[in-house]
């Protein structure tokens, strides 16, 4: 690896898969976890990209994650299924759940899968996008351990609780939303610590709920919305209800801390994925024409001076094309951790 820690997406894919297999994870886990992390890195969501690899390796080695899970359907009827992920690495449960949701939507017009006994799954958008790439509208919810205060609150309550939606758009990239319901995801705090950067204003708080910009003294995150954070807190509740209440899994304030110290006990996290088949509602040509007109009109609408109007996902697609061509620069801490993993696991270091 060069001093700038620049490498290709292909090389990162190779390294992540080999690391998972080296600690005894099965092929399905290695494939799903790597696919999800590479989604994050490819689209510039570095907080949920390959920098998560050392965390997942630790969880697999500690026993929090099942290295050889036996996922199975345990409930549901018609267009609804309940999937028990058997404490799998979260991407495996989420991808498997969305695969079933897409299959159900092909049969019934929509498919909904509640996922039990899952774990941290990284970028929620990876699973919504999987549906869009198959021609369906994909929606994903997940909760996580408490790290976000309520509006005007002074203690952790919700997790960062992401919501993701992806919609196919004929002749172009899918319309693509992937958002935390916190002002920023917690992993971005860790990334800013690594990079030695100050956080933006009003996105994180100290232990008294007061805003801070130093990532090293952050105790909790603010809900999305700033002065109107009650909206972000309510959206966090939407994700909580779908991913925890509806699945029978733990609420955010009952989930074990992502960073340990307990890496042996499964976290019993839930997730919820939904796929909609546009052809169940109208002719495909009409849907395609409507989406095309919508995004074209959006992108060509008047912009403020010096600015550019973009559809959700446009920035990420631009980053993905650039990184496919030029590769990725790893942050210093991730580069150091990868070098240590390569040495400890006996696999080739990232070139």
Q: Has residue 307 been placed in a domain?
A: no
Q: Which positions ≥6 away from 210 have C-beta within 8 Å?
A: none
Residue 305 counted as domain residue? no
Asked if residue 15 is part of any domain, the answer here is: yes
Global pTM value: 0.93
pLDDT along the chain (351 residues), means of 10: 76 98 98 98 94 97 98 98 98 98 98 98 97 98 96 95 97 95 85 89 92 95 93 97 98 95 97 98 98 97 95 96 96 93 97 91
Between CA 297 and CA 301 the distance in angstroms is: 6
Whether residue 308 is contained in a domain is answered as no
Q: Which residue has the tokens 């496919």?
A: 324
Alpha helices in the chain (DSSP H): 9-22, 27-42, 53-62, 90-108, 125-133, 186-195, 229-240, 284-299, 314-326, 332-345
290's CB contacts (< 8 A; 6+ apart) are: none
CATH number at residue 277: 3.30.1370.60
Cβ neighbours for 241, distance < 8 A, ≥ 6 positions apart = none
CA distance 159 to 180: 9
Q: How confident is the model at residue 197, as a pLDDT?
A: 94
Answer whether residue 192 is part of any domain: yes
CA distance 38 to 15: 11
Q: Is 40 part of any domain?
A: yes
CB 2 within 8 A of CB 329: no
Domain count, the chain: 1
Instruction: Show the domain range for 262.
Output: 6-293+331-345
How confident is the model at residue 4, as a pLDDT?
A: 62
In a domain, 49, yes or no: yes
Which pLDDT value is given to residue 190?
Answer: 82
Cβ atoms of 343 and 15 closer than 8 Å: no
Residue 154 covered by a domain = yes
Cβ atoms < 10 Å from Cβ of 90? 27
CA distance 275 to 11: 32
Q: What is the pLDDT of residue 5?
A: 81
Structure tokens at 64: 């929090």
């Amino acid at each position: 690896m060069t001093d700038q820690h620049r490498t290709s997406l292909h090389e990162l894919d190779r390294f992540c898969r080999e690391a998972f297999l080296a600690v005894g994870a099965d092929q399905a886990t290695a494939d799903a976890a790597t696919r999800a992390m590479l989604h994050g890195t490819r689209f510039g969501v570095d907080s949920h990209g390959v920098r998560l690899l050392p965390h997942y390796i630790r969880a697999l080695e500690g026993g929090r994650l099942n290295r050889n899970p036996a996922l199975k359907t345990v409930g549901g009827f018609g267009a609804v299924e309940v999937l028990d992920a058997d404490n799998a690495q979260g991407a495996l449960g989420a991808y498997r759940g969305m695969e079933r949701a897409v299959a159900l939507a092909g049969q019934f017009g929509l498919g909904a899968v509640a996922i039990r006994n899952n774990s941290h799954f990284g970028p929620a958008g990876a699973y919504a996008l999987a549906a869009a790439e198959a021609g369906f509208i994909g929606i994903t919810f997940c909760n996580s351990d408490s790290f976000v205060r309520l509006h005007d609150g002074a203690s952790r309550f919700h997790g960062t609780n992401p919501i993701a939606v992806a919609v196919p758009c004929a002749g172009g990239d899918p319309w693509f939303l992937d958002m935390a319901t916190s002002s920023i995801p917690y992993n971005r705090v860790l990334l800013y610590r690594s990079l030695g950067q100050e956080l933006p204003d009003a996105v994180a708080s100290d232990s008294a709920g007061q805003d801070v910009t130093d990532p090293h003294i952050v105790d909790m995150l603010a809900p999305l919305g700033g002065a109107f954070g009650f909206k972000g807190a309510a959206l966090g509740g939407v994700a909580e209800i779908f991913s925890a209440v509806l699945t029978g899994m733990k609420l955010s304030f009952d989930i074990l801390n992502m960073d340990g110290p307990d890496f042996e006990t499964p976290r019993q996290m839930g997730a919820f994925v939904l796929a909609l088949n546009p052809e169940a509602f109208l002719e495909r040509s009409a849907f395609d024409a409507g989406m095309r007109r919508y995004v074209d009109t959006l992108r060509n609408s008047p912009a403020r001076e010096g600015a550019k109007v973009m559809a959700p996902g446009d920035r990420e697609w631009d980053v993905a094309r650039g990184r496919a061509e030029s590769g990725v620069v790893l942050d210093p801490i991730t580069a150091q951790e990868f070098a240590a993993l390569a040495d400890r696991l006996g696999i080739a270091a990232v070139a």
